[in-house]
A and B are shown apart, each in its own frame.
Chain A
Amino acid sequence: MSEQATVRMEGVGKLFHGVQAVEGVDLEIRRGEFFALLGPSGCGKTTLLRMVAGFEMPDRGSIRIGGRDMTGVPANERPVNMVFQQYALFPHLSVAENVAFGLRVRRTPEPELRERVAEALASVQLAGLAGRMPAQLSGGQQQRVALARALVNRPELLLLDEPMAALDEKLREDMRQELKTLQHRVGISFLYVTHDQQEALELADRIAVMERGKVVQVGAPQEIYEVPQTAFVADFVGVSNLIPGKVVERERLLVESAPGASRRVVLALDGFGRVEAVSRSAMETGARVTLCLRPERIHLAASPVEDLVNRVLGMVERALFLGSEIHYHIRLKSGTLVRVHDSYSPLQPARREGESVYLQWRAEDSTVLTR
């Protein structure tokens, strides 16, 4: 069996004093993949990561790394390395000695050790700071040391627990780019924990969204964003208008294409009235559903546009200018509030507060959620 997966988790669960921190997690991380674990605080991301690292043992299920079952294998014998949230650099050792730590405990010959440490430091642009102590470094520099200290060991998998959390906004953006470049260059699989959806969307090849200990959806960033499978995912990843309603009419098969058939359905949405949408799964009339409508998919216009089938009239309650975008809060007659994001251009005047506008979108612009 050729192992394409760096990590394979099957039915992994962990209970802490009656708290189900992680439950029934099945995941596969492919070779060379940048994989993000995304979820709100307390959903079990760190716990899952620590089980991969070997600091916690799962109560249920198994974790295989590089095809080898890790049950009973202690942390120091696993082919993974970790970048800790607060970096956990050794405060009594210099930058170079921090990076050399893993090589020293494995008794790497001195010439090779020196070469690899220098190479690792250069790869994170820290060549000049080898002699400094961790306390003399900025947050960004400390993070680079933590990265070098892990990567110098050439692990099969690098674990990162919210590595950007301690950095300020600007630095975070720079580091994201650098991290992505670094990952491409070293070709090591990354398992990256974050609660920042922006970060996950930008960095990851694939994302697993976690909710209360469970993985609720796995997929490429676009897939997670465009086709969220639950209201939780739709709400957590990006901004959505989540509108409850029920199915009133379902039409015959519309398109037959991967990944599955699409059907046109007609929904009665609370506060919206009749709306056309496209569903990928078969639905009964009368079934309760939630429609996920992304704010940037809604077209605003003073008068109706012919080929946008869904149309509802509202009034601009608030317009927030954000530079390249304008965010509107639009109040429908029914009282429902809808969020709409529009790109800003000086050529096209923004809607003013108090103005009446048509909100319009195509059937394909929304996602019907059954959960």
Chain B
Amino acid sequence: MLAAAGWATLLFLYMPILVVLVFSFNASQYGARWGGFTWEWYARLAHNQNILRAAWNSLLIGVVSSALATVLGTMAALAVERFRWARPELWEGFFFIPIVVPELMMAIGFLLLFGVFGFPFGLGTLLLGHTTLNLPIVWLIVRARLKKLDPRLEEAALDLGATPWTAFWRVTFPLLSPAIVGGALTAFAISIDDFVISFFVAGPNSTTLPIQIYSMLKFSISPEVNALSAVLFVASMVLVGAAHFLQDRKEGYVH
């Protein structure tokens, strides 16, 4: 019984994904009929200027915002640990809340904020929005790893004559790097398929892929959209898989 329920749940979870993947190879343009296998929609993607521009924007925003979030999030995680800030659980709460706050609320907040300050909507606002979205996630991942690191390792490095700076780069950073890279990849994956915030803060010339898909859907569900979604899906899976792999791989190093 339970096993059957489990399989049913899994099927339910993965049906939408499967449908999109299958229909991205469907030769028939309209409706839900199967018209044979084709690569055509993928080929068309590669020639659609709007999509290519949106893809470029997504990539740019993804790389820059996840890089920014990684640097800031890592520094914030280190600060809480290093300076033994009072009530670390309070800080954990502060960094965690943005993750569970409805994204719509964040998006509206950004809209108001940028409006108030007269920020022109475009790549800049997208970048700020995505960095804010990603920062707490990187913070959480790095902090989790940092909490498991034995503080004596850094003390041992100091004891052996390393300056605090050297001790950080030779001991703490290498041991933290799987979490940092994992955090960066997760951030990138989140940024790449973020819709809500992007929709609110993007300008007319800074369309990202999810927004592009949405605007294409307004007319009809074209197989091209299926193909694009499939590409995004595979890219995200690769990133998340890599992030997981990196975080697990060096677990043995942690005491």
Contacts and interface: CB of A to CB of B under 8 A. Distances in A.
A75 B155 contact: yes
Interface stretch (A88-96, A167-175, A205-213): A88-96
B252 interface: yes
Interface of B, secondary structure class, is helix
B158 interface: yes
A84 B253 contact: no
Given A76-B162, A105-B161, A135-B252, A84 B175 contact: no
Given A84-B155, A86-B255, A92-B171, 16 more contacts: A53-B159, A54-B158, A75-B158, A75-B159, A76-B162, A76-B163, A77-B161, A82-B159, A86-B152, A91-B175, A91-B252, A92-B175, A92-B253, A101-B162, A149-B160, A153-B160
A102 B174 contact: no
Interface in A122-181: 135, 149-150, 153
A232 interface: no
Interface string A91-116: 11000000001100110000000000
B111 interface: no
Contacts of A81: 159-160
A321 interface: no
A18 B174 CA distance: 37
B170 interface: yes
A106 B175 CA distance: 22
B156 A90 contact: yes
A129 B240 CA distance: 37
Contacts of B40: none
A238 interface: no
A80 B159 CA distance: 8
18 contacts: A53-B159, A55-B155, A75-B155, A76-B158, A82-B156, A82-B159, A86-B152, A89-B156, A90-B153, A92-B250, A92-B253, A101-B157, A101-B160, A102-B160, A105-B160, A105-B163, A105-B170, A106-B161
B166 interface: yes
A42 interface: no
A181 B185 CA distance: 52
A74 B166 CA distance: 14
Given A91-B252, A105-B170, A84 B152 contact: yes
B81 interface: no
B169 to A, nearest CB: 11
Contacts of A84: 152, 155-156
Nearest to A53: B159
A358 to B, nearest CB: 55
A155 B171 CA distance: 22
Nearest to A105: B162
A84 B170 CA distance: 19
Contacts of A75: 155, 158-159
Contacts of A149: 160
Nearest to B163: A76
A92 B150 CA distance: 13
Q: Assign chain A's interface to a size class.
A: 20 to 34
Contacts of B175: 91-92
B152 A88 contact: yes
Nearest to B254: A91
Contacts of A150: 159-160
In this complex, the member of A55, A76, A149 whose beta carbon has the largest number of chain B beta carbons within 10 angstroms is A76
In this complex, the member of B159, B175, B250, B255 whose beta carbon has the largest number of chain A beta carbons within 10 angstroms is B159
In this complex, the member of B150, B152, B160 whose beta carbon has the largest number of chain A beta carbons within 10 angstroms is B160
Given A105-B170, A135-B252, A88 B155 contact: yes
A105 B165 CA distance: 11
Contacts of A90: 153, 156-157, 171
B150 A102 contact: no
Interface in A185-234: none
Interface in A42-89: 53-55, 74-77, 80-82, 84, 86, 88-89
B178 to A, nearest CB: 10
Given A86-B255, A92-B253, A102 B161 contact: yes
Contacts of A54: 158
Interface in B169-202: 170-171, 174-175
A74 B171 CA distance: 18
B150 A88 contact: yes
Interface in B119-175: 150, 152-153, 155-164, 166-167, 170-171, 174-175
A94 B41 CA distance: 52
Q: Which 9 A-B pairs rank lowest in CB-CB distance, beginning with the nearest?
A: A102-B160, A91-B253, A88-B152, A88-B156, A105-B162, A75-B158, A76-B158, A82-B159, A92-B174
Interface string B234-255: 0000000000000000101111
A144 to B, nearest CB: 15
A102 B174 CA distance: 17
B153 A105 contact: no
A325 to B, nearest CB: 40
Contacts of A80: 159
